[in-house]
Structure 1
């Protein structure tokens, strides 16, 4: 019955039960072995620590001995500084020597002859235990410390130095010897202190004791060493420790060993003492340590068993709890399985879509390149191919950036930088990027700026650009030809305080719209709307997920409203910190102006903006209405000082309206064209029609102020941008780039502007070229990041570390495809001044060089 019941158990349950039993047995065995192993390792470790401890103490005592002996020899040298005036002044000499010895606390003083005979001057007669060896050392000019005895048999420590003084017997001395009782050495070396873990002996090279500790456990060991070293018994066989220690004594080397003595272990450590033939031996019995180790081992075993028991109890509780959670866990696993399948399917669909979308611009690039090669003499055809290649390249770059950004987001590595930016420059740049896309689909692109008083803010400009581009690119892609797109910016007070401003961004289109079901998943990765409706629209399905993540990271909000076939509107808000700006009084004379645009809201916001800079303005919504109003004001003698005409008007465009106004009023009144489109294509026609200049939408306060103030009489119009006027003639640039094709591109672009470029194939060559160049030779260094031999980070750091003034001042600009915020921050930390992304945008590079050189 039991067997049958057991067989019916779930295989997973059986596996868990047997696993638990095996784990139980394994845990007991493992913890037991661990306790035994730790006891053994603890014993080895304590012995090793004992050896290190003894080594340190011996070294300390040796240094202490050396310093005390050196002090005593200095005192003896102070005694022998006496020089007799003549040979008959021996008594005076002796009195002076004795006096100096007494002052220096010596108890004995004697002269030593070359034969080793001692003549006592003070204290009891003294004699070294080995007079011949002592005299020989003094004859050799050595300072010598030795043990001797006085006439009463007391042991003394002798300090001898070489000196020639007359002795009583008429001979000249070989040295002067001062002495103190043996207790002096015993005391300062603490050799007889009680209660110490270590005790000490001092022995001679033959193993005999100079100073002997009362502890007798090693006396027999040293007696055997003396027999081993006795010439009469040199062939006597000896145990290995005795022979090794004897060899260490003879060669005056350090020695360490653990000996078995009387059933116990002791550790000895020997070291030679300077200025003598003495050898210091420290001894540490392991009796106390063994008791401590055994006690510690017992406690460890008890604690190990307790720990094992606790672990097993906890494992049992966990095991029991697991059974009660099995059903719910299986359900959760099933849900996770379904979620994983859904994610896998989404990623598979994404890969299929992205594969198609990447191949589409790639096919265009390859195809247009082939067409251009086939029509190499047809300039117009080549220009057409290059435009399409450029457009396809930008689209391909956008797809790649989306995938890379999503990878950063999923790994949690997407970071923000906080830079001072101009909202005007950001929007101007966005307009310039969107113009070709809008123009290609013949769409209407309106931009409204309402009450933007704070143009300079702290923000991640790259990520703000990315949000705007994602929203506007989607609006363009999903709006059919002839549709309309509107970008609106407005400002209000921020709840964060006076130092912040809340910016509202609206992107609205009248495109295909989105279904309510898709709106629920619009911010999910790899999601795209119904394939049948967008099968010809390229995209990665990542743009909105990235946009949502960036907006959330920047502390903003994003909302969307949409209806199928009616269009979509996104509303984004950011609370941005105000940035300091150059104080300029944005005020113009109280002119009367006329604004002509078919967008009523645009006219209202432009009039409000003009009013804020001191200008009174009227508006009308068509060219015909504007012509009638201007003629009427002319007849009344109340002229408009300046007229702003939109290029695209419903009845007649701005150029036609300008011609009609000139025909009736002449050339006195300045007429300016306003548009969100590039006016280079119709500039010639516009100037022939009498239009004086062009103002690009959006119309910020600063845009209107700087565009209109040239008509105050103190400035002349400037029709070219700073980038167009910028000249790099005479500038020398060092470009570090390992890719030859990238070098050719950069060289061609910058050479056209007059710059002279030097090429460094990697970071190491870049560093060497800069080192070899004269000071101030290079005006700027363009630095790639990923290069062989030395990266751009390493090269920039090395250049900044050079000992020359221009190494710290020369601008270094990173020019790399590593474009994430942490990459940019790394460049700045390595000493670079700025960063520009590849592929190179010549306008952005020019602006950066202007900031660098101006």
Structure 2
């Protein structure tokens, strides 16, 4: 299972640029059509030189490489340089070399005017006698390893590290971690091969190149991790023996590059290179157990069918027919799952790209607080969408396994109105759709229902209605009370729209998981196909019914009827979490055990705002030692992550509970975990933990839990 999760995460990471590429394809006309101002010397140079020669490392995928079909140089640098040369009116002759070192030597010997990619550094300029142009793209480096290596980047690290010969990494990393042993290899692929064969402990290589090679057969056991503080600028390197006017010309061409062109070149060439490498061999290497299983099943079927045929021809025909039917069902199920994975990868890429892109944009506008705040708001929305997407998948799993718990609470219907309105009205405004929420026919204000799940049902139906209603259309939500006898009540929810409607052929599939009407996809945004399945299961779990009516081109109407308990006399609606709680925590000490620096920073900041004194450790063993080193009852509570290095959170909690000191048995231990299924909560309780807080941490949630124990 862990292997599959890693595989899916790799797939998502490899495809993460698709949406960003689509968003950036439109280049502003003003940038593309601007007139280039040249000096007389530059004009004279262009009149005398119509062509430049460029040495490239043909092994540097996806920056410069040879197309296997045409033999032509392709890649990120080719796309960018073609744009620059077109701006200058030059033609480019590419000189492919086998290694980066050979490409550098080619320019040094005068066999090419310039080299395609050189890190903007005085070291590179001096060592290889180059004139460097202005940078045109930023590259990141990563570490490729088989396992997680401790203290890989510290000055006293002692590992065998592979680096590419002639690259700036040789100088930079030797200076950064001088005690590591750096071994130079001709190409990036050779560096990664050295990790695979065990000749080195790690390879420091360009991140996008590593992403490509780790997608190839034979590297499934390798992992990569970005080197956080490394981001270098890539330039063109002109031989020192050539006229510096060429440098000036290329700088002007680079300055005319629109950022969308650079982004398109980067993500487009990365994905093209990866797609060209996808074949049956890759599939088998990535899924060895599944491949063995499939072939094993096929062999078993052949043997079984052969034996049955020899014994009884008629029985063989019956069995074949039955097996054929089962295979059809299995193929349909597999097709639905494959389709679901494609949609999930797309939907997850969308917010991931938004977050990455907006983070980059915000970093460029650090002095403009208004713009940064706008970007942060958009990043928060993208993060919330990603969480809701993951929640949909978890909800589906819980509902199908019967583990979904309906939690009844006293709810005022006005609260549901306000919450739903806050979520849907901005969506409707963006789509230019008229939106109406009418709950005036609710005569009894309070009911005992699962507020969160009812809101989830309403939001799901309304978001679908808004999505599939064209601009100028109308979406309505009508909530009414049918009856209430003081003990039981029956309410009706109607969600209707005058949108595109649903074809009758799709009616039987409308509540099936992963199903969506294909005709919709070309014109309207698609989701995972889980929304209506979850709605139906939630409604039935709340003892309700759901029906629908739709006509193609006319719209759709969903009708839900729910039965619930009336709120008893004297009962009140729980008040929302208010301010002022933090004052009650003043002077309290809390031990936070969290290994992820960003998560820890967020948690410490939230807890400090509650006036809590926080001490932070990074693994379960340190938490146990820290607890033992303090006097009894020094800490008022412990926040413990579950997935920790050295000693995990569950083991640490059990060890604290087993201590002979009295506060070890009584101190509140609260789990921090992304796994919030019933069995996960039970596992935490069995380890001696008092409560759980789900990740990502929400301030109101952690405040409420701490208030119970402090």
TM-score (norm 1): 0.41
Greater relative CO, 1 or 2 (CA 8 Å, sep 6+): 2
Which of these two proteins has the greater Rg computed from alpha carbons? 1
